[in-house]
Amino acid sequence: MTDPTRDRPWLIRTYAGHSTASASNALYRSNLARGQTGLSVAFDLPTQTGYDSDHILSKGEVGKVGVPVCHLGDMRALFDDIPLEQMNTSMTINATAPWLLSLYIAVAEEQGADITKLQGTVQNDLIKEYLSRGTYICPPEPSLKMIGDVAEYCYTNVPKWNPMNVCSYHLQEAGATPQQELAFALATGIAVLDELKPRVAPEDFPALCGRISFFVNAGIRFVTEMCKMRAFVDLWDEILETRYGVENPKFRRFRYGVQVNSLGLTEQQPENNVYRILIEMLAVTLSKRARARAVQLPAWNEALGLPRPWDQQWSMRMQQILAYETDLLEYGDLFDGNPAVDVKVESLKAEARAELANIDSMGGAIGAIDYMKSRLVDSNAERLNRIENNETIVVGVNKWTEGEPSPLMGEDGGIMVVDPAVEQDQIDRLNAWRADRDETRVQAALDDLRAAAAEGRNVMPASIRAARAGVTTGEWAQQMRAVHGEYRGPTGVSRAVSNKTEGLDHIRQAVDAVSDRLGKRLRFLVGKPGLDGHSNGAEQIAFRARDCGMEIDYEGIRLTPEQIVEAARNGAHVVGLSILSGSHIPLVEDMMERMRTEGLDHVPVVVGGIIPDEDAKRLIAMGVAKVYTPKDFVLNTIMSDIVALVDSKAVAAA
């Protein structure tokens, strides 16, 4: 007999998708059979950024960090034999959220589903993409309008769907303090509600507020993180009541899902990540008043590469044991009335309110994008400095670094590797899809879509018609680019040297000496080839190189190897490439060939990213001078290496 006082378990998810739609479908059905209670779809970077699998920028990225979905056929294959009317599906998609939701609705219609019963979430948060993840397409204003289009359409047609997940997850990974995470996420929520309020009747607005959900991060300082979640609950309730006049407490409820911190996992002694994941999960489950309604956990080996199905199963079992074996769900909130918790929560709320007022004075989240980006870069630099200086202890990284080899690694290196042939297979299927469709119908759908965007109509109805007609992801996004233009987000790295320069004197002296030998200031080009938008590492390398006295050249994310080589021709003395998406082999291979062709093979190239040892050997064989992975966390050592590389070239030239 069910205990009526027992809280119901949260939705148990694993964030999954890779290689192809068919391979991902098999993984989903396997996970559901093992007790997963909701789907969380990871899309590959071309899909996230609005490119088809055969686009030049997609090279090396297809199927690496998620599943490629180019058209209705891919979406059909992705959910084959999975009844969408009975499923709760989270889709981590932002710039192309209107399109992927349109494909999802079209597949549900083909299955005979009642669309009004569909349940799930599209992340659909473009503001955090400008700040931290980098999968944006269009400028902020039209992007905010498209967020509103999805929310307005869902409210009327798919009422159980969460049309927007305000995502603070990547803000924390980009360096946000708890106070900044609270303020920046809530500012995004306010911007979206301000966009939505004129779109619906006043009596309907509170219910629309109730459909906005959040997706948060939980870091290792789990008491602070738990207090942060209680602060989120209070502040969202306060904003909806005082700013928007929402009277019904049901519509003011802070509804959130969570993934615990992935970038905080370590390559060194990766087995320790199991404990980190468990402790971080406690932050979002222990407090009933601030308990997540959906939880997805990374796997222990995500700092190494793509988790295997077994690794994902192990993380899912962690959730199931807490939810079903322990007595956690039988009790009320364990922290109500705790004076230490109350003081911390009130402190976080006060600091977040002050930051929100600051952002509001700049015109809200859209007007404050440059400010928020620069604050994140500064906060991340401070966090890394504390680790470098041993002020923050990370077990196995800067303390207790000696340990036994992990038996979990196995002969496969402890990760799953996507077959490079997957990319060509996906391109072949894409070409076959294009050949079989009705081009007249496709063109009519694209014309209607472009007109809807240009005229300011809601793009969802035209997008769904385009999905049915066979339009591809790249074609949909091209219409948005044609109407609204493309956008280059702020890097957050100014050229002015910061005042946080303790301990850099010896490196500055070395930079000055090498610059004297070169006859000009040592110039360091930092580039991010491909579609990887995780820019934190590149930003911190550029930030530190600048403070060490180097002239930096960093133009942000999403560049082709051709563009980076063109920039290198402008006098770069060393080129640093940052790639976290697993596409390092094909992109660096292309890059090195272009450097040779342009007569730049004398310029040292260094590469950083999540790079397995065997791949590092291949990169060195290609001519890469140095390879850095997350275990190389001491930035000053990297700076010294760069100076030495340039100095050896300068001495040889002399």
CA dist., res. 42 & res. 24, Å (int): 9
User: Which range of residues forms the domain containing residue 39?
Assistant: 11-389
Say yes or no to pLDDT of 637 above 60: yes
In a domain, 231, yes or no: yes
**Tens of pLDDT along 545-603?**
999 999 999 989 999 999 999 999 999 999 999 999 889 999 999 999 999 999 999 99
Q: Which of 370, 389, 408 is the last residue in one of the domains?
A: 389
433-472: b (≥16 Cβ within 10 Å) or e: bbeebeeeebeebbebbbebbeeeebbbbbbbbbbbbbbb
Other CB atoms closer than 10 Å to residue 112's CB: what's the count? 9
Q: Are residues 375 and 522 in the same domain?
A: no
Mean pLDDT of 3-31: 88
Mean pLDDT of 365-379: 95
**Tens of pLDDT along 503-514?**
899 999 999 999
| Mean pLDDT rounded to a whole number for the chain | 94
In a domain, 26, yes or no: yes
**Runs of H (alpha helix) within 251-303:** 273-283
Q: Which of 320, 354, 389 is the last residue in one of the domains?
A: 389
Provide the pLDDT confidence category of residue 1 given band limits of 50, 70 and 90. very low
pTM beyond 0.75, yes or no: yes
Active site residues per annotation = 15, 169-170, 528, 532, 534
In a domain, 488, yes or no: no
Residue 287 phi, psi (nearest 5):
-90, 110
The residues pairing with 216 across neighbouring beta strands, listed in sequence order, are 258
In a domain, 590, yes or no: yes
In a domain, 189, yes or no: yes
Residues 6+ apart with CB under 8 A from 232: 182, 185, 186, 214, 216, 254, 256, 290
Q: Are residues 521 and 381 in the same domain?
A: no
Residue 58 has what DSSP assignment? G
CA dist., res. 45 & res. 36, Å (int): 25
Identify the CATH number of the domain in which residue 602 sits.
Answer: 3.40.50.280
Q: Which of 389, 407, 431 is the last residue in one of the domains?
A: 389
Residue 15: the pLDDT is 86
- The closest of 284, 272, 180, 277 to 225, measured between CA atoms, is 284
In a domain, 482, yes or no: no
In a domain, 396, yes or no: no
Other CB atoms closer than 10 Å to residue 565's CB: what's the count? 26
Identify the CATH number of the domain in which residue 372 sits.
Answer: 3.20.20.240
**Tens of pLDDT along 77-104?**
999 999 999 999 999 999 999 999 999 9
Say yes or no to pLDDT of 350 above 70: yes
- The closest of 645, 610, 642, 627 to 266, measured between CA atoms, is 610
Q: Are residues 379 and 512 in the same domain?
A: no
Q: Are residues 365 and 512 in the same domain?
A: no
| DSSP codes joined into one string, 157-216 | H-TTEE--EEE-HHHHHTT--HHHHHHHHHHHHHHHHHHHGGGS-TTTHHHHHTT-EEEE
The token pair at 296 is 């997805």
What is the number of domains present in the chain?
2
In a domain, 358, yes or no: yes
Provide the 3-class DSSP secondary structure of residue 26: helix
